[in-house]
Amino acid sequence: MDTPQKSITQIGTPISKSKFEDSPLFNYINSLSPIRPVKSIPIPHHFSSLNFTSPPSVFTSPHLTSSHKESRFFKTHNSSSDPTNPVEESTSNEEVAAAEAGDASIGEEASIEMELPQIIKYDRDDPVAASPCGRETVDLSLVPYSPPRGENGSSEDASGMELQKMYDENVQGKNETPDWESLISDASELLIFGSPNDSEAFRCLMMQRASTSGVEIPKMQPGSKNEPESSDAIPCEAVSFLHRGIRRRCLDFEMPGNKQTSSESNTSACGSSSRCVLPSIGLHLNAILMSSKDSCSGNIQVGLQGSSSTLQESLVIQTENETPEDADQDVPVEPAMEELHLSSPKKKRLKLEAGEGESCKRCNCKKSKCLKLYCECFAAGVYCIEPCSCIDCFNKPIHEDTVLATRKQIESRNPLAFAPKVIRSSDSVIETGDDASKTPASARHKRGCNCKKSNCLKKYCECFQGGVGCSINCRCEGCKNAFGRKDGSSTVDMEAEQEEENETSEKSKTAKTQQNTEVLMRKEESSVLPTTPMSMYRQQLVQLPFSSSKNMMPPPQSLLGGGSSSSGIFNSQYLRKQDISLIQSRTKKSFETVTEDGVAEMPEILSHSSIDKIKAVSPNGKRVSPPHLDSSSPGSILGRRSGGRKLILNSIPSFPSLTPQH
């Protein structure tokens, strides 16, 4: 079998890149974006090589599934991105072939593999990707390890073709500029396919679409592992993982053979200023998501639940927010390899600064060797990178074996150890049995916190940190979580606010005041917008700008769904103040859409399990669906949406929550 390297080489063929760049689509995009693509960035190749590899099941965690979707999405995106290029399909095929080659080799090699490559690949094609910022997109790819795929990667092909078709539908059918939103939305839908067989699910979706448009949908090849069976059994976690995967960046779990790739990938992938942005595809994480925390760090950020949303967000951001500044700041710096690629101290500094925000923080481990969950990087499933201040760090590609072994060990102890800490409400409901009606928050911490002194008002509290309310699973004392108290009081409880204020006045400490202020701000936001996921999302968006400050809001991960610790990675990195307005408007738009549709068009961003919940809590009261409808039940979603996009749900069986309650 080919060595990983070889595959990499194959995959990363510069040729393809050139093609893309030369393609009309690419040009078109360039014309739209102020950012100038950086052709020199090879990164994508890495991932490309990895693309389609089906992650072995090293990581047994559910996250794996998500990667699939994401990767597909990306890939799709690529394909779709080239509307004008009739050859696109052929290109896709080529890529696929390359990917396949890589796949085979990789798959065998490491069970750990990640789909990252796919993502990356995606980037490469993505016009946006050209710029460093574009790389952020790649982050999405960080997606968790996806389930193993057929060697031939036929499924990918199929999906790619399908995507292409989708694109055609959007672009050609409508003439003119591609309907990116639509594409994204579709993509998100795709992501939704939690089943390992996304392809299958995707296919269904496509079929639907095809029936409408008359497009022919390629058939999946029998050899692929993603065959139907899995589609049915898609675990919810898979979905979440998507989110998570997104977050995770830099996980380069490269196999020894792939190292080269990883380094490259890292560099390019990370392009974003913050790690967050950078995809750390992590090793572990990928497993998925990320935690959220990660927003940046989050390398992993992607939370399962929110994966799709995250993706969308990322996509949106990338698509719309690429700015020169971003390009500038987002110099790709992938964790592990960052150093290698930093061309100048200045760049480095920029990167660090950019990443300095919460989102991009890295670990500072001194005794754990970054091989324990104490280490945020490790917990997130990513390798430590330059920004880390850790000592005796073993969480590096060089020690891959050790990392994997340790990871396995930890997972053996607690299978969910690397799962996103924050679970979407739907999941949590299922898993924890939490009553959605009582918990406004869109998500919950999988295990719940155990705060004694922080009143769940500080980041010491994982729930708070994750931007979610406390639940019955929490054993906290004096819970005043602004996102939702354990007792079920509203997230943005005014009471809590007052209490906090009182406390603040009493102490009248500047620091404290600051903190409270922050809390209040959040509350304010929430007050205005009831604690629906949407509101949360919005909140985050609004607050993101501040996220850089210390006490700021919890990592966006929450939005993501979790990135949990790992996932936490929200996209704050992506969001820059200047971009916020755009995002907001976009978000608004999405919401508006929802209104119009009456929910049907729920923001794709929120798609996922959260959707259900969102609707349930919807402020406008338009869709108050039964709490459990949910999420778990695919059918329900379908029912909601006549559009068919939700077909995805079909593929997703109502599965038990991924995260087991402890």
Distance in Å, CB of 629 to DNA, minimum: 30
Can you tell me the distance from the alpha carbon of 139 to that of 162, in angstroms, rounded to the nearest whole number? 23
Where b means 16+ CB within 10 Å and e means fewer, 292-315 reads: bbbbbbbbbbbbbbbbbbbbbbbb
C-beta of 122 vs 394, nearer to DNA: 394
Among 213, 402, 551, 620, which residue sits at the site for DNA (rule: CB under 7 A)? 551
Quick check: 460 binds DNA (CB under 7 A)?
A: yes
Checking phi first, is residue 297 left (phi over 0); if not, alpha (psi -120 to 50) or beta?
alpha
Distance in Å, CB of 108 to DNA, minimum: 30
Quick check: 368 binds DNA (CB under 7 A)?
A: yes
Can you tell me the distance from the alpha carbon of 271 to that of 136, in angstroms, rounded to the nearest whole number? 7
How many CA atoms lie less than 13 Å away from 454 in the CB half-sphere? 19
**Interface characters, 432-451, with DNA (x: CB under 7 A):** ---------------x-xxx
C-beta of 43 vs 463, nearer to DNA: 463
CB-CB contact of 432 with 478 (8 Å):
no
The encoded tokens of residue 93 equal 């095929």
Quick check: 146 binds DNA (CB under 7 A)?
A: no
Q: Interacting stretch for DNA, rule CB under 7 A, among 36-44, 78-86, 506-514, 608-616?
A: 506-514
Quick check: 367 binds DNA (CB under 7 A)?
A: yes
The encoded tokens of residue 411 equal 């997972």
Can you tell me the distance from the alpha carbon of 188 to that of 179, in angstroms, rounded to the nearest whole number? 14
CB-CB contact of 631 with 615 (8 Å):
no
Distance in Å, CB of 541 to DNA, minimum: 20
Among 379, 443, 541, 580, which residue sits at the site for DNA (rule: CB under 7 A)? 379
CB-CB contact of 319 with 128 (8 Å):
yes
Distance in Å, CB of 533 to DNA, minimum: 22
Residues 400-419 touching DNA, rule: CB under 7 A, are 410, 413-414, 417
Distance in Å, CB of 588 to DNA, minimum: 30
Where b means 16+ CB within 10 Å and e means fewer, 578-604 reads: ebbebbeebbeebbebbeebebebbbb
Distance in Å, CB of 567 to DNA, minimum: 13
Question: Residue 188: what residue type?
Answer: S
C-beta of 494 vs 511, nearer to DNA: 511
- The CA-based angle 51-54-60, given to 5 degrees, is 135
C-beta of 341 vs 369, nearer to DNA: 369
CB-CB contact of 278 with 249 (8 Å):
yes
Total binding residues toward DNA, as defined by CB under 7 A: 45
Distance in Å, CB of 447 to DNA, minimum: 6
- The CA-based angle 647-631-191, given to 5 degrees, is 45
C-beta of 516 vs 607, nearer to DNA: 516
C-beta of 60 vs 620, nearer to DNA: 60
Quick check: 365 binds DNA (CB under 7 A)?
A: yes
- For residue 194, give Cα distances in angstroms to 220, 231, 520, 535: 17, 8, 37, 25
**Interface characters, 601-630, with DNA (x: CB under 7 A):** ------------------------------
Q: Interacting stretch for DNA, rule CB under 7 A, among 176-184, 357-365, 535-543, 585-593?
A: 357-365
C-beta of 176 vs 506, nearer to DNA: 506
Can you tell me the distance from the alpha carbon of 92 to that of 9, in angstroms, rounded to the nearest whole number? 17
Q: Interacting stretch for DNA, rule CB under 7 A, among 21-29, 334-342, 509-517, 576-584?
A: 509-517
Distance in Å, CB of 530 to DNA, minimum: 24
Quick check: 550 binds DNA (CB under 7 A)?
A: yes
Quick check: 39 binds DNA (CB under 7 A)?
A: no
- For residue 286, give Cα distances in angstroms to 15, 62, 86, 237, 600: 28, 10, 34, 12, 31
- For residue 263, give Cα distances in angstroms to 188, 342, 385, 582: 29, 12, 11, 33
C-beta of 449 vs 649, nearer to DNA: 449
Question: Residue 349: what residue type?
Answer: R
Q: Interacting stretch for DNA, rule CB under 7 A, among 281-289, 368-376, 604-612, 620-628?
A: 368-376
Quick check: 454 binds DNA (CB under 7 A)?
A: yes
Distance in Å, CB of 628 to DNA, minimum: 25
Quick check: 317 binds DNA (CB under 7 A)?
A: no
C-beta of 333 vs 553, nearer to DNA: 553
Bridge partners of residue 567, in order along the sequence: 563
C-beta of 452 vs 622, nearer to DNA: 452
Q: Interacting stretch for DNA, rule CB under 7 A, among 43-51, 157-165, 458-466, 638-646?
A: 458-466
CB-CB contact of 236 with 427 (8 Å):
yes
C-beta of 4 vs 144, nearer to DNA: 144
Quick check: 458 binds DNA (CB under 7 A)?
A: yes
C-beta of 31 vs 510, nearer to DNA: 510
Residues 562-601 touching DNA, rule: CB under 7 A, are 565
Where b means 16+ CB within 10 Å and e means fewer, 384-417 reads: bbbbbebeebbbbbebbeebbebbeebbeeebbb
CB-CB contact of 238 with 195 (8 Å):
yes
Among 373, 472, 521, 582, which residue sits at the site for DNA (rule: CB under 7 A)? 373
Quick check: 363 binds DNA (CB under 7 A)?
A: yes
Applying CB under 7 A, the residues found at the interface with DNA are: 293, 358, 361, 363-370, 372-376, 379, 410, 413-414, 417, 421, 447, 449-455, 458-462, 465, 509-512, 514-515, 550-551, 565
